[in-house]
Chain A
């Protein structure tokens, strides 16, 4: 869990001095301990999977299908998919449509600005393996730019396909967190000095 990166508190002086120790280290250990708790892990998975806010990034023509998907007929807000616009608050990037070189740079910067638990849905044939613009001099595949979690085929894919991709992403988050839980309970974290007793 990303905790507030507070500056290290150094001891004040001998008389009336108190040693708070390295607050970062203490906070990190506490975070690891919480996350290795089974109930907390279930809660975190539920929280992550039901609040997927995509960054407002319409790369190309599949954007119309993403707009139709967030429209009233295939309302994706039911699944907690509220397009909120600001990369800082979102945890999902939906690459909808062809990635030209210029747009690939922008997608990369948006992805890097986002806080840590983040996922990528690549939508449309053009980002899977080229689509009808496969040998154009200006297009790039999604896997060159970002680590993609879910691919949605189709040109443009139907809004129902986007909805299923969000549900598939929920399963993937569940697996990721379950793997994290198994690793942390097995004491794999002890290497970083987290005493499990």
Chain B
């Protein structure tokens, strides 16, 4: 991404957002506080990033924080459609709560629902946070968190014949 486009974008977003450019994977990492999240998202959408490719969480148990990442890219504007934006905000592990961006990007609807059931991050304002992928038994165990230990050895997995039904 040419440097003046980078300046224009970071100037547009104001001082609250820290912008870093990863040249190899065309990734622009924008770190934002939780408060600023919505208006930065709206500015990005008006700038041209019109859909959300993925919503995920990177869990750092040691620093006791979770990074919620929205990956955005652009269909309509061709000069920025090469790049992906990683909109990152960090959330405390004890009370993971963040504003849902489904009204900004409709495509984040099911992505946020999946991230909610995998990590337990509560997306405030999401219309319908029911479990999507996991069966009812596993709802609430937040399997993708680092402290959810997988069974490592084969014996204890198959001692009682696999996961109980």
Decide if A and B are genuine partners.
yes
On A, residues with C-beta under 8 Å from B are: 100-102, 104-105, 108, 129-130, 134-141, 143-145
Question: How far is it, in angstroms, between the C-alpha of A28 and the C-alpha of B134 when the chains are bound?
Answer: 46
- Hey, which chain B residues are within 8 Å of A104, CB to CB? 165
Segment touching A, from B36-44, B105-113, B155-163: B155-163
> Can you list 5 A-B contacts (CB < 8 A)?
A101-B135, A130-B154, A134-B157, A138-B163, A140-B165
Report whether A101 and B165 are in contact in the complex, using a CB–CB cutoff of 8 Å: yes
Report whether A137 and B143 are in contact in the complex, using a CB–CB cutoff of 8 Å: yes
Question: How far is it, in angstroms, between the C-alpha of A1 and the C-alpha of B44 when the chains are bound?
Answer: 69
Complex interface residues of chain B between 99 and 144 (CB less than 8 A to chain A): 134-135, 137-138, 141, 143
Report whether A134 and B154 are in contact in the complex, using a CB–CB cutoff of 8 Å: yes
Q: Which label, helix, strand, loop or mixed, suits the secondary structure of the B interface?
A: loop
Report whether B161 and A141 are in contact in the complex, using a CB–CB cutoff of 8 Å: yes
Question: How far is it, in angstroms, between the C-alpha of A102 and the C-alpha of B165 when the chains are bound?
Answer: 9
User: Given the interface contacts A101-B135, A101-B137, A130-B157, does A139 sit within 8 Å of B165 by beta carbon?
Assistant: no
User: 1/0 per position for B32-57, CB-CB distance to A under 8 A?
Assistant: 00000000000000000000000000
Does B151 interact with chain A (Cβ within 8 Å)?
yes
Report whether A105 and B165 are in contact in the complex, using a CB–CB cutoff of 8 Å: yes
Query: Counting chain B CB atoms within 10 Å of each CB, which of A101, A130, A145 scores highest?
Result: A101
Q: How many A-B residue pairs have CB under 8 A?
A: 50
For residue A43, give the distance in angstroms from its CB to the closest CB of chain B. 38
- Hey, which chain A residues are within 8 Å of B151, CB to CB? 135
Does B152 interact with chain A (Cβ within 8 Å)?
yes
Q: For A129, give the chain B residue with the smallest CB separation.
A: B158
- Hey, which chain A residues are within 8 Å of B141, CB to CB? 137
Report whether B135 and A139 are in contact in the complex, using a CB–CB cutoff of 8 Å: no
Question: How far is it, in angstroms, between the C-alpha of A102 and the C-alpha of B136 when the chains are bound?
Answer: 9
- Hey, which chain A residues are within 8 Å of B150, CB to CB? 135-137
- Hey, which chain B residues are within 8 Å of A138, CB to CB? 134-135, 138, 143, 163
For residue B91, give the distance in angstroms from its CB to the closest CB of chain A. 23
Report whether A135 and B162 are in contact in the complex, using a CB–CB cutoff of 8 Å: no
For residue B161, give the distance in angstroms from its CB to the closest CB of chain A. 5
Query: Counting chain B CB atoms within 10 Å of each CB, which of A130, A135, A136 scores highest?
Result: A135
- Hey, which chain B residues are within 8 Å of A102, CB to CB? 135
Report whether A101 and B163 are in contact in the complex, using a CB–CB cutoff of 8 Å: yes
For residue B24, give the distance in angstroms from its CB to the closest CB of chain A. 29
- Hey, which chain B residues are within 8 Å of A100, CB to CB? 135
Q: For A105, give the chain B residue with the smallest CB separation.
A: B165
Q: For B163, give the chain A residue with the smallest CB separation.
A: A140
Report whether A140 and B162 are in contact in the complex, using a CB–CB cutoff of 8 Å: yes
Q: A105-B165, A144-B162 are in contact. List 16 more A-B contacts (CB 8 A).
A: A101-B163, A102-B135, A130-B154, A134-B154, A135-B150, A135-B151, A135-B152, A135-B154, A135-B157, A137-B141, A137-B143, A138-B134, A138-B135, A138-B143, A144-B161, A144-B163
